[in-house]
Amino acid sequence: MIIDIDRWEEILVTITRNKTRSLLTAFGIFWGIFMLVALMGGSQGLKALMGTQFEGFASNSGAIAANLTSQPYKGFRKGRYWSLNLDDVERIRRGVPEIDIVTPCNAKWGMSAIYQENTESCTLKGIYPDNGKIEEPNMLYGRYINDIDVKESRKVCVIGKRIWEALFPDGSDPCGKYIRVSGIYYLIVGVDVSSGNMNIQGYAPRSVQIPFSTMMKNYNMGNEVQVITYTAKANHAISEVEKKVSAIVKQAHTIHPDDTQAVMTVNVEALFSMVDNLFKGINILSLLVGLGTLLAGAIGVSNIMMVTVKERTVEIGIRRAIGAKPRNILLQILSESLVLTILAGMTGICFAVGILQLTEMGTGNPFQISFWGAIAACLVVTALGLLAGLAPAYRAMAIKPIEAIREE
């Protein structure tokens, strides 16, 4: 569509002449595109913010722990206490080929970590090196717990971010120094600064992690295991795996196969899927609300253009009488509709992007739409501008010169 300078001047004069109507119509388009872009960008930012809560945690993982039985079975009464043990780890590893990693984890809460005059509350966690494949560490200093630490029951530890900040406020490298936890000294070999809120057996920034074997010996835990975590191999769902894990454990500890209370399971994969579905729903809702508001604005543009065409019946009739073709009238009305919607739409997009940018600066998360999302918004505005101008344009084309002169 080619519009010469005179046509542009005519369009701007028409819009200016109907200033109040044009502003009201432009606001409808502006608000609609602003809502669409702001809601889509906001949902992306919220998704990224939520993702930081699960940072470093394996999405294909699960966990199992013991609970009181809810059904009597083979002479055992209801409400019996039982516990997992290290033999269960091997049973699960051998009996469930779909499992990739399986590792135990024990913890003691309400402990205090002490270095010189500094003290900080902590959770003491006994782990195997494989735990790092489920809760991925982010090592700032040193290293993670390794197989030799476990084999030799070394008194070494990896401290969390909050522990490091409280005990070493100067931010120095603490590796090679000793901290005291419940009267036992541990050599610091690493600092894990991962900050995700998804953790097993304690919040990572407040944890002091030691070799599992050291935990068992120092605190006389025998063969007992509090939690067993595992990950599934590719193309296998955790919901499929956890049924087999529960069945193996129930059989080993003489628990009724239908007892749903005795074995507590956590399906992290289902949790991640639920969050993904939640944000898919938010995106769809945002799209519907934004498009609905835009459509209302487009209807407003169409109505305003219809009124404008009616008021300009004589002008259009005279133009037809002096030789203007229907195509010229069509292009004029469509051009006015397009200019009004595009100006309002571009302003709405820029304003929404600016608001999202301010939000992003305050949180550090990408509260912003993608490049192609912005292009799609521009195309939607253009399409709505054309649609809004079609009915008024065809009405203008239908005006007969003689009828327009009679109205005058």
The 10s digit of each residue's pLDDT in 299-311 is 776 777 676 666 6
Torsion angles phi and psi, residue 206, rounded to 5: -110, 20
Same structural domain, 83 and 45 = no
Domain containing residue 241: 68-98+233-261
Same structural domain, 204 and 281 = no
201 belongs to a structural domain: yes
Q: Enumerate residues 6+ apart whose C-beta is below 8 A from 315.
A: none
Same structural domain, 109 and 39 = no
61 belongs to a structural domain: no
Q: What is residue 402's predicted lDDT score, i.e. its pLDDT?
A: 62
Per residue in 214-269, pLDDT tens?
999 998 888 899 999 999 988 888 888 889 999 999 999 999 999 989 999 888 88
Q: Are 32 and 297 in contact (CB under 8 A)?
A: yes
What percentage of the chain has pLDDT greater than the value 70?
79
Q: How far apart are CA 13 and CA 218, in angstroms?
A: 87
242 belongs to a structural domain: yes
Strand locations in 177-285, DSSP E? 178-181, 184-192, 207-211, 224-225, 227-232, 263-267
Q: What is residue 167's predicted lDDT score, i.e. its pLDDT?
A: 94
122 belongs to a structural domain: yes
What 8-state DSSP symbol labels residue 368? Answer: S
**pTM, to two decimals:** 0.69
Mind spelling out the 3-state secondary structure of 132-182? Answer: HHCECCCEEEECCCCHHHHHCCCCEEEEEHHHHHHHCCCCCCCCCCEEEEC
Residue with tokens 């992306």: 44
Per residue in 346-372, pLDDT tens?
888 888 888 877 777 656 566 777 777
What pLDDT band is residue 3 in, cutting at 50, 70 and 90? very low
Same structural domain, 347 and 364 = yes
268 belongs to a structural domain: no
What pLDDT band is residue 5 in, cutting at 50, 70 and 90? very low
Domain count for the chain, please give it.
3
Same structural domain, 94 and 237 = yes
Same structural domain, 237 and 326 = no
Same structural domain, 9 and 88 = no
286 belongs to a structural domain: yes
Same structural domain, 253 and 279 = no
60 belongs to a structural domain: no
